[in-house]
Amino acid sequence: MTSLKDWIRYGDELRRPLCVASDLDNSSAVCVVGAGLSGLTVAYRIATKRPDIHVEIVEKSERCGGVIETWTQDGWICDVAVNATRAHPAFWRLVNDLDLGQLFSASNPKAKARWISTKGRRRKLSPLLIFKGGPLKVWRALKGARQGTLSVAEAMPLAPVNDAMTLGIVNDRSAHVDADFLMPSLTRFGTEPPVKWKRVKDMMNGTYPLFTPKPGSTASFEGGMQTLIDGLVHRLESLDNVSFTMNAPPDTPKEVAEARNMPLSSVIWCAPLRRTAREFTELNVYAVGYTEAQVSSVKVGYGTLIPDETCPVSGILHESDVHGSPRAPAGHRLFRVMAPSVRSSSHEEVEASLRHLLSESTPVVFEHIGVRRIPSYPPGYMASLMSEDQSFTRAGWFFSGVSVTHVVAEAERIADRF
């Protein structure tokens, strides 16, 4: 049972399953596998709550951060993956506890507009699109989605908006994405709050440290999301009960436990596990910069989603429009371009498409800054987590989350067990 206090602290994150070993709280030492945002935050929350417990962080590579990575070049700043956070008290608490508040600010209120581009026509996303798609049809589908295990396409029959949304979040078509996973509050997955949801939200708003965000806004760090990773690593390195083991790719939770002579229940796995190559999609990410004059016709906004398979680009985020801190040199604008690997085989095709999507001019900056491999979450995925092995603890993007707010709230919930 979850209390009203829990709901005020975590909100809709309580709808997501929490795969925690029953004996985790009896551990005299824990091993956190994966030094991405999830692993670092879990380690930080446990280590600060229980200084008597030794926390080892094991990472297969030579760097911390996982999918969180910020590209920088001569005044240009672009995040390869997550670039901002939606409003949630758990994230605000983490920023406050790490003393990063001065580097954390609300998004630009002028950059709220979002567009969808289909068949060469760009339209602003608004409630009007729902009415055009048939509000009664959408309402019936959402009501039916409460039975669970449906796809986003079934739960929200509003093409091409549903495809644009899922491509923008998990790089997959809405027919292939679990509605319970992507929007558990709409499908009523999991537990229900003991009072009306509006009251919960109103009470949550009174718990934000630093500043209370406006509805629908996001917030981000000066210097990109790498600022948060650096802050976590710095704080963890200062703790006497924390150690890092880098360049050590672990095989299984059981082998990690046996190598450290600890019970399996003391392993917290925050890395991919038991997923084949076919259970990932791939996304190429580009940083593209122009002078303001070159893109004067592009309105200030959040970005454009492009579900059309004929276009090599699936989404364009207006990086320099969105953030409260600069992302481009003065007199310039920066865009983050996402290109699914299944749509395009060359950088030239991507650059050519930008002549129609952004500007006929040659970009000042055109850099391929990374490749993201994103797990698939097929219909029924969330329900399948209920039967996951709980002899060890699982957390992170590869398990049950796609947003920074989720993994940060999940880390606190795991630490609550101690």
Is 135 in contact with 143 (CB distance < 8 Å)?
Answer: no
Cis peptide before 194 (omega within 30 of 0): no
Q: Which domain holds residue 165?
A: 126-183
154-166 confidence digits (pLDDT tens): 888 888 889 999 9
236-270 confidence digits (pLDDT tens): 999 999 999 999 987 899 999 999 999 999 999 99
Q: Is residue 171 domain-shared with residue 245, that is, in the same domain?
A: no
Q: Is residue 305 domain-shared with residue 370, that is, in the same domain?
A: yes
49-61 confidence digits (pLDDT tens): 999 999 999 999 9
Please state the rounded mean pLDDT for residues 315-332: 96
Q: Is residue 216 domain-shared with residue 250, that is, in the same domain?
A: yes
| Count of structural domains within the chain | 3
Residue 261 domain-assigned (yes or no) = yes
Q: Is residue 99 domain-shared with residue 12, that is, in the same domain?
A: yes
Q: Is residue 301 domain-shared with residue 366, that is, in the same domain?
A: yes
Residue 196 domain-assigned (yes or no) = no
Is 69 in contact with 322 (CB distance < 8 Å)?
Answer: no
Handedness of CA 171, 174, 179, 183 (dihedral sign): positive
**Backbone φ and ψ of 273, nearest 5°:** -155, 130
Q: Is residue 361 domain-shared with residue 307, that is, in the same domain?
A: yes
Please state the rounded mean pLDDT for residues 308-314: 93
Residue 78 domain-assigned (yes or no) = no
Residue 383 domain-assigned (yes or no) = yes
Is 171 in contact with 340 (CB distance < 8 Å)?
Answer: yes
Kindly compute the dihedral angle of the four CA atoms of residues 127, 132, 135, 136, in this order, to the nearest 10 degrees: 180
Between 27 and 138, name the one with better pLDDT.
27
Residue 316 domain-assigned (yes or no) = yes
Q: How many CB atoms lie within 10 A of CB 51?
A: 13
Q: Is residue 347 domain-shared with residue 229, that is, in the same domain?
A: no
Whole-number Å distance between alpha carbons of 353 and 150: 34
Please determine, for residue 129, whether its predicted confidence score (pLDDT) is greater than 80: no
Residues 6+ apart with CB under 8 A from 80: 67, 68, 69, 70, 71, 285, 369, 370, 372
Residue 410 domain-assigned (yes or no) = yes
Which segments of 238-334 does DSSP mark as H helices, in order?
253-259, 319-322
Kindly compute the dihedral angle of the four CA atoms of residues 77, 82, 85, 89, in this order, to the nearest 10 degrees: -130
Please state the rounded mean pLDDT for residues 64-87: 95
327-381 confidence digits (pLDDT tens): 999 999 999 999 999 987 789 999 999 999 999 999 999 999 999 999 999 999 9
Please state the rounded mean pLDDT for residues 201-224: 94
pLDDT score recorded for residue 361 = 96
Residue 79 domain-assigned (yes or no) = no
Whole-number Å distance between alpha carbons of 29 and 181: 32
What CATH number should be reported for the domain holding residue 396? 3.40.50.720
